Amino acid sequence: MDSIIDATAGSRQDRLLLRAEIDDFNAAYAAALDDGRLKDWPAFFTDDAFYLITSRENHDAGLPVGLVYCEGAGMLRDRAFAIEKTAMFAPRYLRHIVGTSRLLRGREDGTVEATANYLVLQTLFDRPESTIHQVGTYIDRFRRVDGVLKLQERRCVYDNLLVPNALVYPV
Amino acid sequence: MDSIIDATAGSRQDRLLLRAEIDDFNAAYAAALDDGRLKDWPAFFTDDAFYLITSRENHDAGLPVGLVYCEGAGMLRDRAFAIEKTAMFAPRYLRHIVGTSRLLRGREDGTVEATANYLVLQTLFDRPESTIHQVGTYIDRFRRVDGVLKLQERRCVYDNLLVPNALVYPV
Amino acid sequence: MDSIIDATAGSRQDRLLLRAEIDDFNAAYAAALDDGRLKDWPAFFTDDAFYLITSRENHDAGLPVGLVYCEGAGMLRDRAFAIEKTAMFAPRYLRHIVGTSRLLRGREDGTVEATANYLVLQTLFDRPESTIHQVGTYIDRFRRVDGVLKLQERRCVYDNLLVPNALVYPV
């Protein structure tokens, strides 16, 4: 594992560059989902990654439950495959607006914790307007794998109640 | 007072790093409010700070009035305390999406002016959807205090008409 | 033409600084439109620039058509002038929230391709709430002119159907 703790413990410049790199990562991640390239989605994670979509209420209560839960690259790939092969949901466009990221801390195991707020907008093909689909915050742990930032953990904590069928899509 | 004017008058790299630092500041500021940590809010300001929430109409007309007005750390702390101790408003989640910041200019007194657009989304506990609570722009003056960026002035200029009771919360 | 390909082919730091510079550009571009300074809008483009607002559906189908189309600085200036001199639309505020940008690639001709998601909110003067006006992504090509970043090409690809009269404004 390549450590990135030096970047958070290091100089102001190192920290700001790492933050910019996380912004870059989040923009690429959002573009993959917005473009519907679900098969590219698992590559943003480490092989042992943990992915969760949960409500703010559950998160604040310390409950580990969520409406979507993936552990490991296999589950992420299964999920992406399943969504691409099903057509039970109305066709729609999604668009992520991700706020600038915030570095929280580097940990002794070489990972870095960061957060970023997100807003996902949804446009149904037969409706003229876009609407707010999901509002929340990413609570992330990043690790560098062969020099490339990957998500070891992403918790998507949403504020709004969600209709279950929309949850089929990753955020 | 530590001067930060060198960063704006300086090289392209210095300016971009300062801009990244302001993005970082805005993300931390938003997280404090989104998490409901109102007691942390005054610490983002200098002791002699000026804070205003005003309409775009009043701002464009050069009117110094606003619906929320704080001058000095004491007023900021009083406001944060009052909000935390009152329960007259429906419980809700707030979520800030702050656009990337823009450096305007460094001033001779060592402060730096910057702006950033913001969108605040609101989720009431008994309503399934999130709605647009406030849309506007921060017009800021930053100063470095013991090496840390602080707001000497933040004007929150909102586009939309606001219902008065929502204004109890800082933006 | 000043080449900026070195910045994308170069070190991680060079790339991140270029990305920060594009964020800065997008924030300044948004502010010009949000402030209603339409006469400043053409200066964000090169003299031979191409500007297009088109639907995601048309874009994905490879159709070069769009609801707004400008080629060259003259057309951009004409458009800005026409909007400023007409008063056939209800007065409104617009506010851009632009996500962090993503560098795609540097090209051999010295230009750099990048994208950024955007959300434009609209507030009509006689309505209390702000609404979602347009959601989409910028697909850009930047070129450096006398050291300053300019848009050689900006394609605004929107997700939602738009009411025609709102399209008079650039995005």
Q: How many domains does one find in chain A?
A: 1
Q: How far apart are CA C14 and CA C7, in angstroms?
A: 5
Q: What SS3 class is residue A152?
A: strand
- By Cβ distance, the residue of B56, B101, B119 closest to C27 is B101
pTM: 0.91
CB contact, 8 Å: B97 with chain C? yes
* Preferred mutation among B25, B97, B126 to probe A, highest tally of A CBs within 10 A: B97
Spatial distance between the Cα atoms of C136 and B4, rounded to a whole number of angstroms: 36
CA distance C28 to chain B (A): 7
Q: How confident is the model at residue B158 (pLDDT cuts 50, 70, 90)?
A: very high
Using CA of residue B79, residue B84, residue B89, residue B93, what is the dihedral sign? positive
Structural domain includes residue B70: yes
Cα B89 from Cα A33, distance rounded (Å): 37
- For residue B114, count other CB atoms closer than 10 A to its CB: 24
Q: Cβ separation of A160 and B130 shorter than 8 Å?
A: yes
Do A145 and A2 form a contact (C-beta atoms < 8 A)? yes
Q: A64-73: long-range contacts at Cβ-Cβ below 8 A with a sequence spacing of 24 or more?
A: A66/A155, A67/A162, A67/A164, A67/A167, A68/A167, A68/A170, A72/A47, A72/A48, A73/A42, A73/A45, A73/A46, A73/A47, A73/A48, A73/A49
Measure A74 CA to nearest chain B CA, in Å: 33
Query: Which CATH number characterizes residue B83's domain?
Result: 3.10.450.50
Rounded Cα distance, A49 and A51, in Å = 7
Cβ atoms within 10 Å, residue C78: 13
Task: Assess whether pLDDT exceeds 70 at residue B171.
Answer: yes
Reading chain C (171 residues) residue by residue, the pLDDT tens digits are 344 444 444 688 888 889 999 999 999 999 999 998 999 999 999 999 999 999 998 999 998 788 888 999 999 999 898 888 775 566 789 999 999 999 998 888 889 999 999 999 999 887 888 999 999 999 999 999 999 999 999 999 999 876 655 556 788
pLDDT band at B8 (very low <50, low <70, confident <90, very high): very low
B10 and chain C in contact, CB less than 8 A: no
Q: Do B30 and A119 touch (CB under 8 A)?
A: no
- For each of chain A's 171 residues, which pLDDT tens digit applies? 344 444 444 688 888 889 999 999 999 999 999 998 999 999 999 999 999 999 998 999 998 888 888 999 999 999 898 888 775 566 789 999 999 999 998 888 889 999 999 999 999 887 888 999 999 999 999 999 999 999 999 999 999 876 655 556 788
pLDDT classification of B3: cutoffs 50, 70, 90: very low
Which residue of B23, B93, B132 is in closest CB contact with A159? B93
Chain C residues in contact with A96 (beta carbon < 8 A) = 99, 117
**pLDDT per residue as tens digits for the range B67-92:** 888 999 999 999 898 888 775 566 78
Nearest CA in chain C to B138: C31
- DSSP strand E in C28-91: where? 45-55, 68-71
Our CA-based measurement puts residue C74 at a distance from the nearest CA of chain A, in whole angstroms, of: 33
Asked if residue B168 is part of any domain, the answer here is no
pLDDT for position A155: 96
Taking the Cβ of residue A90 and every Cβ of chain C, the question of whether any pair is shorter than 8 Å is answered with: no
Q: Are C141 and C153 in contact (CB under 8 A)?
A: yes
> Which structure tokens are listed for C154?
């900006």
B50 lies in some domain: yes
Q: Within an 8 Å CB–CB cutoff, is residue A135 touching chain C?
A: no
Domain that holds residue A31: 5-160
Q: Would B169 be classed as within a structural domain?
A: no
Angle of helix A12-34 relative to helix C12-34, nearest 10 degrees, comes to: 70
ipTM topping 0.90: no
Residue A127 within any structural domain of the chain:
yes
Q: Which structure tokens are listed for B40?
A: 């942390």
Question: What's the confidence (pLDDT) of residue A2?
Answer: 42
Q: Which two tokens stand for residue B96?
A: 């800030």
| Half-sphere exposure of residue B51: CA atoms within 13 angstroms, side-chain side | 25
Q: What share of chain A is helix, strand, coil (3-state, %, to 5)?
A: 35, 40, 25
**Which of B159, B162, B165, B171 to mutate against chain C (most C CBs within 10 Å)?**
B159
Residue B117 in any domain: the answer is: yes
Q: In whole angstroms, what is the distance from residue B6 CA to residue C143 CA? A: 28
Cβ burial of A2 (10 Å; 0-12, 13-18, 19+) is: exposed
Nearest CA of chain C to the CA of A148: how many Å?
11
Note the helical H segments in C38-123. 56-60, 73-85
Q: What are C61's two structure tokens? A: 């189908």
Q: Is residue A114 part of a domain?
A: yes
